[in-house]
Structure 1
């Protein structure tokens, strides 16, 4: 009784709104009826659904589009809260809605009405099919050739191809997806298989529409591409799935199936095999969207690839490699949402390594990796940066996917190692044409290195030929670090050292490659490898390359520029390799590398000096020194030995003067100045050699720096000497007098019989330089 009264109250509440709507379905009455439907519970609406549908069906038949749109709006509200479980009612509404989209004069075309009307109809259709119960859906798909399903799919494909409204095209794609997947809730295997057989007729057309959508340019709204990817993966996972492949799945399954089902399974399996090439073509088009500019497209692609890989590894065997590569590329995506989901999917592939298919999957990945190594140099040379970035991400992803255990085993193959190093050398091809050969006369000051180096962001000796974006170098470096992390560094680097000796024309790229691979390595043999590389670089013929162009030189401009690039790379490489060691082992390496780096700091060529300054700054930071000056001061004894030995062979080591200029310019330490007293003496003696005229300019710079240092030192002493303050004497003149007197005494002929007499006559103090010159006259 209470239930009847409740039913009566609900009916009384609905009746006025339904009566007003059936009389005139204007906006006011539409809003009134929608509000009542919202207030009534879903259970009550299910019982009164036939009554509510009466005014809606009447106005759906009306040709007034405004009234029809209002009726669709109310029907959508009703379907959100109820489902249609009666087949005649469902079919009646379905036919009316589809009929509104048909052009009766030309049934192959969609009716020419407002896009908003088409959108309302498609949205209502989607909701109608989605909310229908499984009994109704079974009857829909049991029709001969699924004629109603097929015709609606056909109408939707026309909308997708010809309409311009973005949301309308998205809803049309969604309609096809719902029609193709709503039957999946059916638990009856017989019905499911029968529906699948009927739907295979529409799969080629559906996949062709998906291909058409994803081939559009990025001007197309991203939501349409996202919907197409979702439709492709849904169709593939439900219809072209492993469950329908018998031969490769379980050869004994055929014996367990009834005869009729066995024949049907064979037919479906044959259909899948026959269309494998077309399916591969479609999947290739889908995976190309990994380069799409909008991140939501790439995110959907990850989900789609993950779904297809979980359902179709046998039925779409030829597409598996491409799908895995897509996940690998997107696991390095710049968008965090895409990267996170792709990494999660790639990690699932790691778990497969421990499964039954371990061997076959690894072999498949190794083969694909080797194929990639062959094609990537050509793609890098001929593609834009987006494609280049994709290929680099793929290479990086393969290394990560192999991991330490598998990647080291892959590189045990000489073919793989040789190909990988060749690829890295080719993509690291360095540009040398922008290197300046102009010599600079300025004196390098270690006190201002840090500011100078940090302001230089565009490193001239690391400009890549095949990349316009500077971020490519960081991407390649991350790949090289992975090679060093997962591979056998000892084996790889000694192989590269052999290439360094044999492939002279690629030495620049090999040098940079070794630096990148070893810079963050920390294996047991790391110190020995660094020491071997350093010894290789510091060989005389390797370290001292010709950089000047003159009449007597056989070096041309291009060779000189290449040599400067090589010098810069070796200088930077030594510093980065030494900095990768612990502090104790760094001290052992400084004995061998600090002086050569100081030579680079003092170079008259800007790029070489810049590389030296960056190197010595890095060594100071990694070694725990306050700054580069502190590094030099604490190693001054060792440096003094180098200067002394090389000054006596200055014709072989002219670069010693470059290093000497840098060190002597450090006037902050009195001890350092005094330690170089003997060195300056050697320089003075060397400067008198008639065969050293070609280094005269460097000699004069050394003298100039030394004079300035002595002058500053003498000024400090004068502040504490009261006597000197009471009797001031121009410091510059005194210093010059002392040096000239010292020079005269050292160069006199000691065999002169009148040596003592001349000495006594010339030891009187000079008041100024002019008096000294007059005495000599």
Structure 2
């Protein structure tokens, strides 16, 4: 179908919309648009002009009419390329005007869920189908207030809406506003501009996404997994090492070294005087251009070492909350968590050094996941993480690589395991034991060095013996007896008798603890381990059975 045919078919329907302003006339345009297979870039102004006029001039637009108009906007944007900032600004403003409450701009409008979903999808199309020149203006200072309001309303929808598909669409729209799909293909300069812009919105975005990701599992695994992906993307966007190193010298060296460097050499000058070029007024909408003085009123966050340290501290607290998702029931969330941890370490290991150890712990713990895909992804992530930590040690002149971090985690987990066992939470106990097992597996022959210190070795073996505490209240074994009529009949004892543990019932925990003991005996000095177990046997009568169980 050529351009002439397209225009002929849509002209009559568009004229009817301008004349009648009814739901039926708008629906007719929408049906005609769905039949079009060609590009509508040259006709987008003509087609959308009467619909925008209805939204602007009608005092009270019904839900049904709004929904049909948003549907028309979606169909036109799907078949168009946006090369004009004024057009972008008009459609962008109208879509979020529909989504926002008319009396309170800080609340979401009272409209149908279908209308919200279509409006959000239209925003995604608007950003994705815009040219590079338009996108540059969108992320400039002059457009910052509108972009900030759009992000705010989108985050409100993500947090407050109950409809699952609407939540997913809102997160997708947030990612579209952040240029996730095209970020890797952008030039370095545009990537840095995008990162500088989103540094102003990072705290609010991360807090909202953390609330969604750690919410009740009833919301569905897709919402949780997508929230995790969005969280890791925006952290990478703003806190990635190769971006922050352009603003902060001695990134990852610590506050003392950074302060000393600032006193000696001073801070880098920030280029904050870039002029924004706006398109001409030759446009069918005849809108006013953004005012030049907006850029001077817009507050920009200055990326300094102090800002990086404070932001990293807050992000590390959120990392602690998200790391608890290792116990999530659905495997796709655990798979997303592996990618989350990998991206955190590979891109931000210098800027977010406080969260690195938790991310490593997530990857190591999920290597032994019941789902093969999760375990394989964690194993691949571990290889990438090892390389990233080696690069970090070269930049920060630190000798703390992956193995040193894992040694620290072995000591920490040995301390935490008895406390977690007392809580009798099977999921937490299994996670802790798997993380300990994963650390020991990666350490391998270095276990001899880990167990060389008396305090650390006693702590580890004491934690294992406490976890293996047997339940001696089980009297079923004593109640078993042979048939009196046949004294030579062999007694058939259930395999579980005599192996009931006090703090857990999950067989996976006992298997993981058994594998842990086997690893310690295989990779470390066996004579030393036997001596330590015999010491435990002599020192405490309470854990004698458990010490013998560890030895076997």
Normalising by structure 2, we get a TM-score of 0.81
* CA–CA separation in structure 1 for the residues paired with 2:547 and 2:428: 25
Q: Is the 8 A contact 2:29 2:72 kept in 1?
A: yes
SS of aligned partner of 1:103: coil
* CA–CA separation in structure 2 for the residues paired with 1:380 and 1:332: 20
Residue deviations 1:396-433 (CA, integer Å, cap 9, x gap): 1111221x232333223333322221111111111112
Task: Find the counterpart in structure 2 of residue 259 from structure 1.
Answer: 269
Q: Against the structure 1 CA distance between its residues 340 and 74, is the aligned structure 2 distance closer, same or farther, given a 3 Å change threshold?
A: farther
Q: Against the structure 1 CA distance between its residues 497 and 282, is the aligned structure 2 distance closer, same or farther, given a 3 Å change threshold?
A: same
Task: Find the counterpart in structure 2 of residue 386 from structure 1.
Answer: 427
Residue deviations 1:271-302 (CA, integer Å, cap 9, x gap): 11122321111111111222222222222222
Which ranges of structure 2 fall in alignment gaps of 5 or more residues? 253-257, 274-299
Residue deviations 1:58-93 (CA, integer Å, cap 9, x gap): 455462332332232233233333321111111111
1:187 positional shift: 4.6
Task: Find the counterpart in structure 1 of residue 207 from structure 2.
Answer: 208
Q: Is the 8 A contact 1:33 1:74 kept in 2?
A: no
Q: Is the 8 A contact 1:407 1:486 kept in 2?
A: yes
Task: Find the counterpart in structure 2 of residue 11 from structure 1.
Answer: 7
Residue deviations 1:433-485 (CA, integer Å, cap 9, x gap): 22355695769999976x935xx2322x2111111334322222122223233
1:137 positional shift: 1.7
1:195 positional shift: 4.2
Which ranges of structure 1 fall in alignment gaps of 5 or more residues? 516-777
Task: Find the counterpart in structure 2 of residue 510 from structure 1.
Answer: 547
Task: Find the counterpart in structure 2 of residue 319 from structure 1.
Answer: 355
Residue deviations 1:351-409 (CA, integer Å, cap 9, x gap): 5687673931232321222112112111111141111111111111111221x232333
Q: Is the 8 A contact 1:226 1:297 kept in 2?
A: yes
Task: Find the counterpart in structure 2 of residue 105 from structure 1.
Answer: 103
Task: Find the counterpart in structure 2 of residue 640 from structure 1.
Answer: none
Aligned length: 502
* CA–CA separation in structure 2 for the residues paired with 1:352 and 1:400: 20
Q: Is the 8 A contact 1:197 1:268 kept in 2?
A: no
Larger helix percent: 1
Stretch of structure 1 that moved more, 291-300 or 87-96: 291-300
Residue deviations 1:165-188 (CA, integer Å, cap 9, x gap): 222223223323322345846855
1:423 to 454, 463, 467: 463
1:17 positional shift: 5.5
Q: Against the structure 1 CA distance between its residues 175 and 255, is the aligned structure 2 distance closer, same or farther, given a 3 Å change threshold?
A: farther
Q: Against the structure 1 CA distance between its residues 444 and 247, is the aligned structure 2 distance closer, same or farther, given a 3 Å change threshold?
A: farther
* CA–CA separation in structure 2 for the residues paired with 1:354 and 1:308: 15
SS of aligned partner of 1:85: coil
Residue deviations 1:105-155 (CA, integer Å, cap 9, x gap): 222222212222222212211221222222112212224471001111121
Residue deviations 1:704-731 (CA, integer Å, cap 9, x gap): xxxxxxxxxxxxxxxxxxxxxxxxxxxx
How do 1:408-419 residues align onto structure 2 when only pairs under 5 Å count? 408-419=448-459
1:10 positional shift: 4.3
Task: Find the counterpart in structure 1 of residue 250 from structure 2.
Answer: 248
Q: Is the 8 A contact 2:409 2:439 kept in 1?
A: no
Q: Against the structure 1 CA distance between its residues 59 and 444, is the aligned structure 2 distance closer, same or farther, given a 3 Å change threshold?
A: farther
Q: Against the structure 1 CA distance between its residues 288 and 67, is the aligned structure 2 distance closer, same or farther, given a 3 Å change threshold?
A: same
* CA–CA separation in structure 1 for the residues paired with 2:457 and 2:487: 42
Q: Is the 8 A contact 2:85 2:134 kept in 1?
A: yes
| Alignment RMSD (CA, Å) | 3.5
Q: Against the structure 1 CA distance between its residues 158 and 101, is the aligned structure 2 distance closer, same or farther, given a 3 Å change threshold?
A: same
Q: Is the 8 A contact 2:335 2:374 kept in 1?
A: yes
2:44 to 39, 49, 52: 49
SS of aligned partner of 1:360: coil
Task: Find the counterpart in structure 2 of residue 601 from structure 1.
Answer: none
Q: Against the structure 1 CA distance between its residues 185 and 405, is the aligned structure 2 distance closer, same or farther, given a 3 Å change threshold?
A: closer
Q: Against the structure 1 CA distance between its residues 510 and 372, is the aligned structure 2 distance closer, same or farther, given a 3 Å change threshold?
A: same
Task: Find the counterpart in structure 1 of residue 338 from structure 2.
Answer: 302
1:350 positional shift: 4.4
Task: Find the counterpart in structure 2 of residue 374 from structure 1.
Answer: 415
SS of aligned partner of 1:84: coil
Q: Against the structure 1 CA distance between its residues 185 and 149, is the aligned structure 2 distance closer, same or farther, given a 3 Å change threshold?
A: farther
Note if 1:331 corresponds to 2:367: yes
Task: Find the counterpart in structure 2 of residue 741 from structure 1.
Answer: none
1:94 positional shift: 0.8
* Greater RCO, CA 8 A, separation 6+: 2
1:158 positional shift: 2.4
Note if 1:80 corresponds to 2:73: no
Q: Against the structure 1 CA distance between its residues 81 and 354, is the aligned structure 2 distance closer, same or farther, given a 3 Å change threshold?
A: same
* CA–CA separation in structure 2 for the residues paired with 1:256 and 1:444: 95
Q: Is the 8 A contact 1:140 1:148 kept in 2?
A: no
> Whose Rg is larger?
1
Q: Is the 8 A contact 1:30 1:70 kept in 2?
A: no
* CA–CA separation in structure 1 for the residues paired with 2:526 and 2:485: 37
